[in-house]
Structures are given as C-alpha cells and as structure tokens.
Amino acid sequence: MSDYLDGLNDIQHQAVTDINGPVLVVAGPGSGKTRVLTYRIAYLIQQGVNPRSILALTFTNKAAHEMKGRIEKVVGTTANMVWAGTFHSIFARLLRVDAPLIGYPSNFTIYDTDDAKSLINTIVKDLGLDKNTYAAGNILSRISGAKSQIITAEEYVSNATLRDQDAVVGLPHFAEIYKRYAARMKKAGAMDFDDLLLQLYILLNDFPEVLDKYRRRFAYVLVDEFQDTNTLQYGIIKKLVKYNGSKYNVCVVGDDAQSIYAFRGATIENILNFETDFPMLKTYKLEQNYRSIDTIVQAANEVISHNRKQIKKTIWTDRAEGPGINLLRALNDNEEAKRVVDAILEQKNRIHLRNSEIAILYRTNAQSRIFEEYLRRYNISYRVYGGMSFYQRKEVKDLLAYFKLSANPYDDESLKRIINFPRRGIGDATIEGLRQIAVDNDISMWDVLQSDIPQVKSKKAVTDFTKMIQVFIKKLTELNAYDLAMMIARQSGVLDEYKKENSIDALARVENLNALLDGVKEFVENDEATPDEDTTSDKSLATYLQTIMLLTDADKESQDSEVVTLMSVHSAKGLEFKSVFVTGVEEKLFPSWMSYDVPDGIEEERRLFYVAITRAETHLTLSYANSRYRFGKLTYCEPSRFLDELSMIKTQLHAVPQSSAQQLSGVSGNFRPVKMLEKKNLVVDGVDFKVSPPDMVKEGAKVLHLKFGEGIVKKVEGGAGNRVATIYFKDVDDPERRIMLKFAKLQVLS
C-alpha cells in the first residue's frame, strides 16, 4: 500500500509523513508540490484518519479534481469522502447549512459578476450619481477589495479614514453604495462570490457553536497555493485551526516566489508570516527541480535573489546544463514577433520540437496580436490559452465593426453590432424593425437608415448615428488609416466606453484597443518593401482592413492539440513546456509601469518574471524590442532591469549562426545571429529630424531614418510614385532594407 512513497526524495517523504502539528511546505517550481500534497492526504487516510475529517482547499476546480483522482489511485474510492474543493465551493456548501443564522435563506442565490454590476448600476441611478464616475466594474472591484480585507459595509461606513480616502479619489459616495449593495443583496437572499467567504467568516465569528462544530469536524486542514490567499481566506483558516486545545494540524503548501496575484487581493505576508502565527511550525523546502535544466534553474535563483521579501531557498536540479538562454533583441515589436516565430520554425525543424511543446508568454494580453499575425503568416497552428484570440475579443470586434461599416456601409452584420454600442437609446425593437424593412424591400439596413424611415421612438438617435457614419465614410478617402481609425475610436465613443470603468478588466480592454490602433499606425508608417509586396498599395483604412481580414479569415481556433500556446504569464502559472519564449522584456512593460508606484510592486513583477522563466524545461528565449508603438507613438524601450540581473545572459548568449539556419532543409524565415545584450538606442530623436522630398534620395546618398538610423543608398529602382530604395543601415542586425520612397521618412544628409 505504501509503495507510492518509494518514488519520493527525502524531503518530499518527510513532508508527506510528518502529519502532526503545523507544517509549511515551501515548494519551488517543478519540485513535485502536487505529488506531496496528494500523497500526504493519502498517507493520512492510510494512517487511519477519517477521510471526512480532512479539508483540502484549492483555488481551481481542476486542481481539486486532479487531487481526488491521484488520491483515489492510492486509497481507492474513499478519496471521494475527503472535503476537497475550491474555497468558494466548500464554503458555499457550509453556508447552505447555517445561512439562516445570519439572515440568509439556505437556498440563497449566487450572483455572478454581471448580476452584481447590474445591481450596482441600479443603486447608482437611485442615488442620482454619475454612472461614468461610479462605473459598476470599478465599484464592484472596490467592494471586493474591502471584503477581502474583512471590512463589512457597516464597518466601512463607520470608518472615517476610508471615507476620506474615497473622497480623495473622487468617490465620496462609495460607502453609501456599498451599504445599499449589501442590504439589497441580503434582502434578495443573494451572495456574490466574495460573500461566500465573508459571510462564512461572519458566521464562524458570531456563532461559536457553529465554529466549534467545524473545528471538531475538520481534524486536518490542507491548503494548496497558500501564497495566493488573501486576508479573508487566511482568516477563516486560522479560525478553524488556531484555538486553545487545538492540535494545529494544518499544512499549507506554496511558494512565496510565485506570489503573483496581489491585484486580486492576495498577500504574500500570509506565507512569510505563517511561522509567527504557528510557532511550533515545521518547514520543509522542496528545492529539487525536476522540470528545468540547470541553466534555467540558476537563472531563476539569480533573479529572485534580488527580492527583499522572501523565504530563502536555493533551487537545484540534477538535469544537465543543456543549451544556454537565448536573447533576441529586435528593432521593434513587429521584428520581435518575426524573430520569435523564426526561432520557433528553427526549433521545429532543427531539434524537432512539436507545436504543443512551445509557448509564447507575454505580460499583457494585448501583446498577442502581433504574434498571432506572424504565426498565421507562417501557417503555424496556435491557441490563445485562457482567453480569446486577439481579433475575437469583444472590444476589438466592436471597433473593427466601426472600421468595416465606414469602409462598407452595406455590411449589415457590422451595423447591427454597433448601432447601439455604446448605448445610444436604440432598442432591440427598433433594430429589428429596421432589419425587417430591409428584408421586405430587399435592400440593406444602411439604405433604410438613409431613407425617410417611419417614426420610431429612437428616431433622433438613429439619425445621429447615421450622420456620424456618413462623416466616417466621407473621410475614408481623405485620411490615412490611422488618422481615420483614431477619429472613429474617439467620436464613436468606443474608447471612452471602456475607459470609464477603472477596473482590471476594463484596463485590459483599453490596452487591446490601443494595440489595435498601434497596429494601424504601424501599417501606415511601414515604409519597407519586400519583393513580393505590391509597392503601389495605399494606406487607407479600407486597405488596412483587407490586410488584416486576410489574416483573421484563418483565425479559427484549431482543434488540433498540436498547437503553439500563447498566454499571459499569469495564465502560465502551473504549466510547463520544453521551449518557452518570454517576450516584451522591457521597462514599463515587464516590469509593468503600473508597478512603479505600488509598494513592493517591482518585487511582485520580479516574482512574475520568475514564474515565466521557470515554465521552461530545456529551451528558454527572452526577447525585447528597442522600440514599439504605444498610443500611436513610436517610443524607445529600455531593456528590462530583470535582464541585467541575469549575469549568465551576458556570457552564455546563444544563437544559431546564419549559415547554419540557411542550411536547414525546408525552413523558412530569416535567421540572424543574436548580438550581445546592449542598451543601444537605435531610435532617432525626431526633434530636429526633417523629411526630405523623395526625389532627393539618390544612389550613394547618406540618409537618416527615424527607426534604422544612418544609412547609405545602394540602389533606387521603379518609376515615379513607385520608387524603392535599397539602403544599407550599419547599426541594425539586418542592415540591408528596401524602403518605399512613397511612404519613406528619410532625411538626406549628403
């Protein structure tokens, strides 16, 4: 029965079999954390502990199911008797029994996020407050934050300091909203997700007999991913296990170096100060990494050593050193994506990695756009893990619908999508009426809008919408793609619609919209020509749409398991791949600019970087761009401070020589040697830059380019309006560039 223990190392074995008293298992990445947790529960059962007296708390249903499955393989179906599940599912189960004691029915309703936002909007309206100032998403986030700190609505209202802070940020009525929200939720017999925790805490705090019941029931409490707990979750755990006469049979498993959810209320202090709450604590450090090669493990150790707040440990592995860490330095984000995909092709062809063994990680979801585009161009199957493909995201589709309608007003599907987004008082009945008129007369809905439509309740709103689209259509031939795209984004109200909610989700949506607009800007300002490119193409919004729609037509999520995975670093936690690309490793991106003014913000970003690099088993590639478009402006990017913290990058920088890459049979793409890490600014200061007329660009001329720096014109070919210059730029990795003079930004120096 105990054969399963034979596969454990010494520390793992101790962590599994030392079942009495408080235990902290500090589990480094790839150290067998899940095995230790599940085997510990199995061992408890084998030692005669009643499985019904074991409480195991996780953060995901997937983790809970996997846990039960592994336990069952050892002890059989008795594993199903263990109280194993997420915090929310287990606590909801407990609340169903005793909810009447705190004024809720046993069959209370659970409100999802949309339900909660709807109630907040109603309250804001009832109070006569501005819905933009008191945006539902932001208010719900603040309520959630208060609950995670165990601050009830009543306590919030009576706390003058908190109310003063609300006034400073322009939300003086937040406390009243929170109070009414809590009251109406209770009246409706409903709880939101945070209430499932807060109300249980209140129940255990106010009714000692209930608390005593669960203390007697749960003889052993285990918590997975303890570093991700917030104050409220830990508060409940302490109530269950910390009391006079307790045997303190609590085991928490986690890694302080992977605490990355502060934005959700998680506090690293829980794991750092666990020994303070439980002085008899026994700590086991799982330091052997079974996932990664030594080079990656040592890099991870080196990075995290710069954090002040941590439990000291040294991760090690007996896996051979293997390949070094690759660093890709690109001129801009477009080139970064191309070089990453080139490298993927090389790994697939030279060392025969499968798509499923490769992952591209990024700090923000908005970064996925350019990588998706290049993967499609190279016909490499991919999936966006934990989210939608860039061009399938709602906010992106909303703005694209405006673009498409402006280029083709007879696109009924786009029209229906945006005629009342943002909301302008055009109801479903009106939209259906317009559609029916179009069907009955065999015309488009746009034709209906431009005709003398019958009197409808929202006729003015319909007329205003029509006039706005007419302006966009008129500007289609007058403005380039970017100028018109910005005009549409602003005048349509789409940007403001997502900006007004100051929530995490809303900020991500705004980032995606800006990424789309930056893509348009890049399209307009790209003056390079390739041999297979139509050099006479214009820079209109219609042409841009044609370009991206050719890509997005193939944007069907592959059902094939053999796909390259794209994901944010947050989504990658707990996963592993043979080859990992960590992209956008730049200041203000990774670490995020939002972390600069937050206490310990950089330390959290460093933990996030630690998580990113430890996803890799054998091949790790870091990449950054010297410049990228942000908010429509080409900006210079500094390499991340985290790169400076990796000394081995400077001495163990590896790249496939160009000659080797060229010899690879069947490999497409441009493989270039990677240069040593250097903080070289290749972006020209535009203050004194003056664009010269295209006819001044001649063979032998010395020119200056905003992105590529100084160059010598080697050749000029093509007729008037269609001239292409071949220019040698000495300071870039790929020095010979073909520039379309029609769109060129060149200053002739001599």
Is 398 catalytic? The answer is no
CA pair distance 710, 725, nearest whole angstrom: 14
CA pair distance 642, 325, nearest whole angstrom: 14
Please give the average per-residue pLDDT across 503-518, as a whole number. 85
How is residue 492 annotated by DSSP? T
The pLDDT tens digits of the residues spanning 166-199 come to 999 999 999 999 999 999 888 888 889 999 999 9
Please give the average per-residue pLDDT across 449-473, as a whole number. 84
Q: What is the pLDDT of residue 215?
A: 96
Q: Which helix (H) or strand (E) holds 23?
A: strand 23-27
Average model confidence (pLDDT) across the chain: 86
Most confident of 93-107, 122-136, 198-212: 198-212
Please give the average per-residue pLDDT across 306-312, as a whole number. 93
Q: Where is pLDDT greater, at 575 or 507?
A: 575
Strand partners, 713: 727
Residue 423 above 70 pLDDT?
A: yes
Catalytic-role residue among 615, 628, 672, 737: 615
Residue 656 above 80 pLDDT?
A: no
Q: What is the pLDDT of residue 529?
A: 59
The pLDDT tens digits of the residues spanning 550-578 come to 555 544 444 556 899 999 999 999 899 99
CA pair distance 265, 253, nearest whole angstrom: 19
Give the whole-number percent of the chain exceeding pLDDT 90.
52
**Sign of the Cα pseudo-torsion (563, 569, 571, 577, in order):** positive
Q: What is the pLDDT of residue 101?
A: 96
Assign 87 a pLDDT band (cuts: 50, 70, 90): very high
pTM: 0.76
DSSP-derived 3-state class of residue 363: coil
Please give the average per-residue pLDDT across 237-249, as a whole number. 94
- Owner of token pair 């081995």: 648
Catalytic-role residue among 33, 348, 363, 737: 33
Q: What is the pLDDT of residue 118?
A: 87
Alpha helices, DSSP H, located in 476-600: 481-491, 494-499, 504-525, 541-552, 569-572
Question: How far from the centroid of its chain's Cα atoms is residue 69's Cα?
Answer: 30
Q: Where is pLDDT greater, at 389 or 239?
A: 239
Q: What is the pLDDT of residue 590?
A: 96
Q: Which helix (H) or strand (E) holds 567?
A: strand 564-568
Is 33 catalytic? The answer is yes
Most confident of 317-331, 616-630, 695-709: 616-630
Q: Is the bond preceding 531 in cis, omega lying within 30 degrees of 0?
A: no
Alpha helices, DSSP H, located in 207-332: 208-217, 231-241, 269-272, 274-277, 294-304
Residue 106 and residue 100 in contact, taking contact as beta carbons nearer than 8 Å: yes
- Quote the strand ranges of 59-207, DSSP E: 83-86, 109-110, 190-191
Residue 502 and residue 135 in contact, taking contact as beta carbons nearer than 8 Å: yes
The pLDDT tens digits of the residues spanning 7-31 come to 899 999 999 999 999 999 999 999 9
Please give the average per-residue pLDDT across 215-238, as a whole number. 96
Least confident range from 137-146, 422-431, 499-508: namely: 499-508
Residue 678 above 50 pLDDT?
A: no
Please give the average per-residue pLDDT across 82-93, as a whole number. 90
Catalytic-role residue among 224, 346, 501, 617: 224
Catalytic-role residue among 98, 195, 225, 398: 225
Q: At what angle do helices 195-206 and 208-217 cross, to 10 degrees?
A: 110
Q: Where is pLDDT greater, at 559 or 701?
A: 701
Please give the average per-residue pLDDT across 390-399, as a whole number. 88
Q: At what angle do helices 541-552 and 481-491 cross, to 10 degrees?
A: 80
Q: How many CA atoms lie within 13 A of 237 on its CB side?
A: 28
Catalytic-role residue among 14, 17, 34, 231: 34
Q: What is the pLDDT of residue 660?
A: 32
- End-to-end CA gap in the chain: 84
Is 34 catalytic? The answer is yes
Please give the average per-residue pLDDT across 58-85, as a whole number. 87
Is 225 catalytic? The answer is yes
Assign 436 a pLDDT band (cuts: 50, 70, 90): confident
Least confident range from 284-293, 433-442, 466-475: namely: 433-442
Query: Could you tell me the maximum CA-CA distance found in the chain, to the nearest angstrom?
Result: 92
Is 233 catalytic? The answer is no
